[in-house]
Every structure is written in structure tokens, then in C-alpha cells.
Amino acid sequence: MQWLEAFWTKEGKGIPKDAPKRTGLPLFAEIIAREWWELVKLNLLFLLFSLPLVTAPAATFATATICRMMVEDRPVYLLRDFLEALRAHAMRATVWALVAGTAVIIGVGAISAYAAAARTSLFYAAPLALSLVVTLFVTLWAACFVMVSVTEARPFWESLKLSALAALLRPLPLLAALAFVAALWIAHILFYPVSVFMPAVMNFSLGMFAVAFGAQGVVAQVLARSEEENTIQEP
């Protein structure tokens, strides 16, 4: 088996330093191609730590933390960083889950109620549209809140404000990310017997990764701006 030795010592192509960095979808694909195994492990971690249901929100935040590190191409120590994030965000995550969960449930309830009503009378189309938009916005807001929280430690209300700002400022990449998440689950349902292991292997981590990827730009922008304001106000 000496011929295997080349396997350990063979040189790669090298990574050019000044090559223009990829952006958008190619970058997204590149990171997934590189980190897919980590994503699988992350997914298993997430599932493991979501089992005692109350920890599910914290596990969500921890998954987001790891995904954000991957997006930023920073070295990840999966287990260590995950556990740390789990502990750091436990409180906030629980509150987030309660509030955002309630809001989304109310929203969905309103949507289905108005949709049923709109079928009989066109008068209800307007409130239906409104509740649709509001629910969507709340979802975006909730997603942004997760990303803002795991990117920088800020007071709760400030994070809330900043994430609302982020969701308003550039909703498109985030919407695309949410669509990607939806596509993952639809794929799982459509190809059911074949895709039975999809949620166990990748759905959660890959979905969160898409959200982190979509939110990264605007979150950084919002945080940088608030930083600026703070430094201007202080002196």
C-alpha cells in the first residue's frame, strides 16, 4: 500500500490569495461543497440537543452561530462552539421562540381565517393580503433577530430594533433563503420514501446555513451603522 503515500503528501492546486472572491450563489455552493460534512454533523448535533424540546430554541441559536462562522469562513470547533453558543443564548432563544412562535401562529391563523372568508366575499382580500405581508415580515424579523443576536452581543431591545431594520432594509436575499428552506422541506415531502433521512442528515443545518448566508450582508451593514451612531453620540 505504499502507493497510498502520495495521498498524504500530494500537493494541491493552491489557493490564490488575490483571486476575486466569489459572491452570491457560487460562493454559497463553494462553502457547502467544502463544509458539507460539518453541516451533516451540525445537523445531528442540532437534533440531539433539540430532543428535550425546551432546548430546541437554544439549539437553533447555536446552529445559527456555527453557520455564521462558516459563512464568514472562520475556523469552527464544532462541539465546543456549539455548546458555548447553546449556553450563551439559552435565555434569549427561549423568549424569542415564545414571542416569534406566538406571532407566527397568530399570523397563520389570521391568514387561514381570512382566506376562508375571502372565498365567500372579496371584501376580505385586503385583510388577507395584509396578514400575509405581516406574517412574512414577522418571519423575516425573527430570522434576522437570530442572526443579529449571534453576530454581536447587544441588549435585547437593540437587537430587536436592529433586526427589524435589517428585515426592512434588504428582505430579498432573506426571502430567497426562506424559499430555499421551504424547498428543502417540500423536497422531503415530495420524495418521501427516498428522502426519509433528509431531515436527519441536512435539512436543519442546511436551512439555517442558507438563512445565515442570506442575512449576513444586511446584518453586518446594520450593525456597522449602529456602531457608527454610537461612536458619534458618545463624544
Partner 1 sequence: MRIAGRKISGGTIAVYLTVIVVTIIMLLPFAWMLSASLKLDRDVFAFPIEWIPSHPRWQNYVDIWTKIPLALFIYNTSKLTIIVTVLQLLTSSFAAYAFAKLHFPYKNTLFLGYIATIAMPWQVYMVPQFLLMREFGLNNTHLALICLQAFTAFGVFLMRQFYMSIPNELCEAARIDGMNEYQIWAKIMLPLSKPALSTLTIFTFVTTWNDFLGPMIYLTKTELKTIQIGLRMFISQYSAEYGLIMAASVVALIPVLIVFLSLQRFFVEGVASSGLKG
Partner 2 sequence: MASISLKKLNKTYGALKVVHDIDLEIADKEFIVLVGPSGCGKSTTLRMIAGLEEISGGELIIGSDLMNDVPSKDRDIAMVFQNYALYPHMTVYRNMAFGLELRKAPRDVIERQVEEAAKILDISHLLNRKPKALSGGQRQRVALGRAMVRNPAVFLLDEPLSNLDAKLRGTMRAEITKLHKRLDATFIYVTHDQVEAMTMADRIVVMKDGHIQQVDTPQNLYDRPVNMFVAGFIGAPQMNLLPAKLTQEDGRFFALVEEHKLPLPQSFDRSRLLAYEGKDVVLGIRPENFHELAPADIDPANSAPFHAVVELAEPMGSEVHLNLIAGGRNMIARVSPRFRSKIGDRVSLVADLTNAQLFDPQTERSILY
Footprint of partner 1 (CB under 8 A): 1-10
Q: Cα(178)–Cα(103) distance, rounded to whole angstroms? A: 17
Burial of 110 (0-12, 13-18, 19+ CB in 10 A): middle
15 in contact with partner 2 (CB under 8 A): yes
Between CA 27 and CA 131 the distance in angstroms is: 35
74 binds, among partner 2, partner 1, none (CB under 5 to 8 A by kind): partner 2
User: CA 196 to CA 105: how far, in whole Å?
Assistant: 27
- Residue closer to partner 2 by CB (options 34, 87) is 34
CB 216 within 8 A of CB 147: yes
Give the Cα separation of 233 and 68 in Å (integer): 29
- The CA–CA distances, whole Å, from 97 to 100, 161, 170, 201, 228 equal 5, 17, 23, 23, 30
Task: Choose between 3 and 123: whose C-beta lies nearer to partner 1.
Answer: 3
Kindly state the smallest distance separating residue 11's Cβ from partner 2, in Å.
5
x/- letters, 75..94, toward partner 2 (CB under 8 A) = xx------------------
For partner 1, give the closer residue by CB, 5 or 234: 5
- Asked whether position 20 contacts partner 2 by CB under 8 A, the answer is no
Work out what residue 6 binds among partner 2, partner 1, none; the CB cut-off runs from 5 to 8 Å by kind: partner 1
Q: Where are the alpha helices (DSSP H) in 10-124?
A: 24-50, 56-71, 78-120
* Residue of 84, 99, 70 whose CA lies nearest to 208: 70
CB closer to partner 1, 11 vs 234: 11
- Cβ proximity to partner 1, 24 vs 193, nearer residue: 193
User: Binding partner of residue 1 among partner 2, partner 1, none, CB under 5 to 8 Å per kind?
Assistant: partner 1
Q: How far is the CB of 135 from partner 2 (least distance, A)?
A: 37
Q: Where along the sequence are the contacts to partner 2 (CB under 8 A)?
A: 8-15, 17, 34, 73-76
